[in-house]
Structure 1
Amino acid sequence: MSAASNTAHRSLVSRLLEPYCEKHGLTLTLLDEHGHGGHVETTSGRRWFFRGTHFDLNPLGASEIADDKAASLAALNKCGLLTPESLCLSGPVARAKETALTFADEHGYPLFLKPNEGQEGLDVERLETRDDLTDSIDQLLARHRLLLLQKAVEGDDLRLLVLDGVVLCAVQRTPPGLCGNGRTAIRDLMGEKLKKLLSDPRCQRELVRQGLTFDTVLEEGQKVRLLPNANLSAGGIGALITDVLSSTLADAAIKAAACLNLRYAGIDLIAAPDGTYRILEVNAAPGLARLAAQGDMEKAVVAEVYERVFDALTFGPDQ
């Protein structure tokens, strides 16, 4: 299937690739109607492939390690990088609970529990009590083979995009939330974008922690957080902070990508108020569509990032 002129329902990557290939005299071939996969052929006949946001940039083994959160954190620790206190859990459930409770007694609450292999913040749980921990292990081990338990770290939630030793973009992520107007219940303030959270049990638990329900009418100016995690895919908001990013955080992200042998990566970390950091995880195929959807400025930054990625694939790492 060749690149189609109708791009309305195509992936962001394929939509950006079409003008890029026209500009450089490259041939774009899409392998499905939505542009989720395909390849680009240079004038010399060399091809590079993509699938979703996976590109022919990172070695397969490195990408697999990055997808394994516990393994990648272990590798980062061996490189001298800072990560939260973490524990990998597996069945049987009784043993996992016993091990997790020992970890909680040592490190305290709050904790985060999430699938060891997972994307977009799915099934990420913030745990405040012993009951939260045991209940979440019951639920998540029924759906996932391995879980990762982490000590919560206070600070700003950031994603840094690294390509060939350079930070292309830094985003500060804020969990989905609302601001009251003194008249409208939370459920009616959520709108179409956040409506899906009405059926997400994590949202209800997050409201309960704040003494609220979906029927609560927030006071004017009162702010409420709807989820414990700040992933843009879950409704979080991203603010571009590339120009004010500290060299400490930039260096840590660059070192993390190099440590895992990744040319291109999204480094998720918490930046503490004292200037230190903890790396939460590394993504070998970071998605940018939801950042691009926030506005014209974000769309332009994402387009620039992908152009750098396409250049690296087409012309080599020095472009």
Structure 2
Amino acid sequence: MPATPAVPTTLELRLAAAKARGWTATCLDPETNWLWRLSRGERQIVLFGSQSPLNTATGARLASDKDHTATILRSAGLPAIEGARCLKAGVHLGPAGGEAGDPYADQRGLGPGLRFAEVSGYPVVVKPNRGSRGRAVTVVEDADQLRAAVEAVWAMDNLALVQRAVPGVDLRIDMLDGELLLAYLRRPLRLVGDGRSTVLELLGRADARAKDAEFIARTTGDPLWAATLAAQGLDDNGVPAPGQTLAFPATILNLNRCCTATVYGELPEPWIELARRVGAAMGMRHWGIDLRIPDGDDPVHDDPDPSEAVILEVNASPVMIQVYRMGAASLVESCEGRLTDAILELAR
């Protein structure tokens, strides 16, 4: 069987686009291949992995702080997710130290999260204030689970967020200078048996990324995958009966987990306008937003009204490699070309 072609990284796509435009690329750290200088004549700019250089340092740092981002968006009249913050003990104390010097006493410990959950009702979502790819993001059903989830976040972040669990699906919108790059609708994975195909064969038809061994390993290693199959008496090589449905219901929809997506190269204008307002509030040139929206056959186009959308997060360096792997290579290459043109304009 022929080997599956390697998928390029975001950095590799940008380097290729720059070279196609007549720029020379020089690796500055061969040990990691992370720093590259692009030069053309007297002009030059350094790329730092997949990080976008198009936003200011302040804008990028604000977007990496989920709590600050929600505060900014709410102040601009935008529908940011509601929640509470639980600050780890012993950090960010005042000059005097100890309880007397604690300016954040009312936000420290589990109390704020427990009080929010009591008012909002379970389930709630616990996540680190900083982080990506769904790391340490957990849906909890009671106070004991909340305690464990917050303490797990504290092992990696001083601030744990406890947020309302909003039903629906996720719409990611990636933007550049007020214009759409691409968008995709994330849904929980759902496989339907035909009486002949194994579970892994059904996965291969449902998601183009299943050609990649790393994707298969990550998916089949997800606890949700194992629990869903076990509940129906199946394993990876089991053959579901005709019409037998394997649904992987997840409140957290991330393409690194049991989740698939529909990719869009265009969107109705109301969605784009909402994304523009987010970018303006955050002061960004290049950004992505994650929205939780009501589910439906085609919730993006059937009723293009974002009034019920909730903004979950803003990303200052959105990458599109998962979309590339899902079969939209030409669209992603075009978007990365547009991004590269904007980045090269920064060169001095």
CA spacing shift, 1:261–1:213, aligned 2, 3 Å? farther
Q: Choose the corresponding residue for 1:229, options 252, 258, 274.
A: 252
Task: Name the structure, 1 or 2, with higher relative contact order (CA <8 Å, separation 6+).
Answer: 2
Task: Give the C-alpha shift of residue 61 in structure 1.
Answer: 1.2
The TM-score normalised by the length of structure 1 is 0.82
Task: Give the C-alpha shift of residue 27 in structure 1.
Answer: 1.6
Partner of 2:74: 77
Unpaired runs of at least 5, structure 2: 91-106, 204-209, 296-302
Task: Give the C-alpha shift of residue 256 in structure 1.
Answer: 0.8
What is the CA deviation profile of residues 82-108 of structure 1, one whole-angstrom value per residue up to 9, with x for unaligned ones?
112121222249953332121011111
CA spacing shift, 1:55–1:30, aligned 2, 3 Å? farther
**Bigger mean CA offset, 176-185 vs 249-258:** 176-185
Say which SS state the counterpart of residue 37 (structure 2) adopts.
strand
Task: Give the C-alpha shift of residue 211 in structure 1.
Answer: 5.5
CA spacing shift, 1:97–1:164, aligned 2, 3 Å? same
Partner of 1:172: 185
Task: Give the C-alpha shift of residue 66 in structure 1.
Answer: 0.4
User: Is this contact kept in 2: 1:178–1:189, CA < 8 A?
Assistant: yes
Q: Supply the RMSD in Å over aligned alpha carbons.
A: 3.2
Note if 1:306 corresponds to 2:333.
no
What is the CA deviation profile of residues 192-239 of structure 1, one whole-angstrom value per residue up to 9, with x for unaligned ones?
43433454456567x49x956775965533032165422223353221
**Bigger mean CA offset, 55-64 vs 121-130:** 121-130
Say which SS state the counterpart of residue 96 (structure 1) adopts.
coil
Letter in 2 for 1:17: L
**Rounded Cα–Cα distance in structure 2 between residues aligned with 1:141 and 1:202:** 24
- Percentage identity across paired residues of the two chains: 27
CA spacing shift, 1:178–1:285, aligned 2, 3 Å? same
Task: Give the C-alpha shift of residue 68 in structure 1.
Answer: 0.5
**Bigger mean CA offset, 218-227 vs 105-114:** 218-227
Partner of 1:4: none
Alignment of 1:26-45 (within 5 A): 26-33=23-30, 35-43=33-41, 45=42
CA spacing shift, 1:292–1:97, aligned 2, 3 Å? same
Say which SS state the counterpart of residue 80 (structure 2) adopts.
coil
Unpaired runs of at least 5, structure 1: 1-6
Task: Give the C-alpha shift of residue 311 in structure 1.
Answer: 0.9
Note if 1:100 corresponds to 2:113.
yes
Alignment of 1:1-20 (within 5 A): 11-18=9-16, 20=17
Partner of 2:100: none
User: Is this contact kept in 2: 1:204–1:213, CA < 8 A?
Assistant: no
**Rounded Cα–Cα distance in structure 1 between residues aligned with 2:176 and 2:161:** 27
User: Is this contact kept in 1: 2:7–2:325, CA < 8 A?
Assistant: no
Alignment of 1:78-227 (within 5 A): 78-92=75-89, 96-181=109-194, 192=213, 193-201=215-223, 207=228, 219-221=241-243, 222-225=245-248, 227=250
Say which SS state the counterpart of residue 289 (structure 2) adopts.
strand
Q: How many residues align?
A: 303
CA spacing shift, 1:73–1:91, aligned 2, 3 Å? same
CA spacing shift, 1:170–1:294, aligned 2, 3 Å? same
Say which SS state the counterpart of residue 71 (structure 1) adopts.
helix
CA spacing shift, 1:10–1:248, aligned 2, 3 Å? closer
**Bigger mean CA offset, 174-183 vs 286-295:** 174-183
User: Is this contact kept in 2: 1:72–1:282, CA < 8 A?
Assistant: yes
Partner of 1:282: 314
Say which SS state the counterpart of residue 121 (structure 1) adopts.
coil
Letter in 1 for 2:139: R
CA spacing shift, 1:130–1:182, aligned 2, 3 Å? farther
What is the CA deviation profile of residues 215-270 of structure 1, one whole-angstrom value per residue up to 9, with x for unaligned ones?
59655330321654222233532211343x23222111111112111110111111
The structure number with the bigger radius of gyration is: 2
CA spacing shift, 1:253–1:154, aligned 2, 3 Å? same
**Rounded Cα–Cα distance in structure 1 between residues aligned with 2:246 and 2:343:** 44
CA spacing shift, 1:9–1:152, aligned 2, 3 Å? closer
CA spacing shift, 1:195–1:35, aligned 2, 3 Å? same
